[in-house]
Structure 1
Amino acid sequence: MENFSARLRLLRKERGLKQREMAEICGLKLRSYQDYEYQVSYPSALGLVALADFFGVSLDYLMGRTDKREINR
């Protein structure tokens, strides 16, 4: 299974977004967003939820705990 950073990078690329665009969407400086993809730092719990919602995936998928993208509701 992939880790958070790899999943984030994969999801971003699937949407055809650049790191700079994701940083703007997240309200972050470019370097702060890059730190997520390079395993230097991680978003807060609220940030993780926002990313999962943005990409339409479950938190478990985003964090690499499962390979199932769907959200259980």
Structure 2
Amino acid sequence: MDETDPAVAELVSSARGVRAELVTHLLHSDDAHAARLGRAIREIQRGSPGSSPTNPSDAGCVIDPITHDPAW
């Protein structure tokens, strides 16, 4: 998945708002996929509280909203 994809930005934004209880539940899950998701969310939450690095404006370039071409 391309880091400039709006879906990635939405996932990162949503992960930052996940309650600690849910992350703990995921981390202690017997399901390997749930535990992996919990680790990923925890890492996102430990990152900088500023804007997402996946935001196209952070890269200083304009992206075509239709084709997602950074050279647009």
Normalising to structure 2: TM-score of the pair? 0.22
> Which has more helix, going by share of residues?
1
- The structure, 1 or 2, with the larger RCO (C-alpha pairs under 8 Å, 6+ apart) is 1
Normalising to structure 1: TM-score of the pair? 0.22
